[in-house]
Homo-oligomer: A and B are copies of this chain.
Amino acid sequence: MDTFKAHLDKFITVSEEEYASIFSFFEVMDVRKKQNLMNQGEICGSMYFVSKGCLRKFFINQKGVEQTTEFAIENWWITDTFAYERQIPSDFNIQAVEHSSILVIDLQTQELLLQKHPVMERYFRMIYQRAYAASEKRIRYLYEMTREELYVHFSTLYPWFIQRIPQYLIASFLGFTPEYLSEIRAKLRS
């Protein structure tokens, strides 16, 4: 409960009493490593907030290979936003990378939360604004950088992340084969 309060405090001001009410709209869930929270082709019912651990989003590409497009660590939200808003089948899977503790909310419950606590509109506005800002930057990188440059950029900016996440998932996120990632790493070390 405290992690989420500390996180909310960065964006909005809520009393302890208000927070208790806000928190009651969420379901606390423990997910074990590699557990699936959402499956491609199923209605996207929920949004997930990571209190502890790490989730990832991926799709199965035409070659049958898992393509990771997003990670969410502590204090990040993850879902298929397009499918969630419309309550339609998702194009993605969401899976736990580590044993994780998460908060879950569905669309109707979120709407009730927003009605009862309009300050949460501000919170979610700021969350989506940041997420969108990050994706604008990311789209620029995808235009601008080679795969090798992307890896260097990524490992310079987020060295702890590279340490934390299994190599084959980093490779999947960057659109490499694990072998190609090993090659780049060897080249950078030499």
Contact = CB atoms under 8 A, between A and B. Distances in A.
Contacts of A118: 118, 121-122
Count this chain's copies in the assembly: 2
Interface stretch (A139-147, A154-162, A163-171): A139-147
Interface in A103-162: 114, 118, 121-122, 124-125, 128-140, 142-144
A91 interface: yes
The interface residues of chain A, by DSSP majority, are classed as helix
- Name the 5 nearest CB pairs between A and B, nearest first: A128-B128, A125-B125, A81-B133, A82-B133, A135-B135
Interface of A: 59, 61-62, 67, 69-70, 80-82, 85, 91-92, 114, 118, 121-122, 124-125, 128-140, 142-144, 175
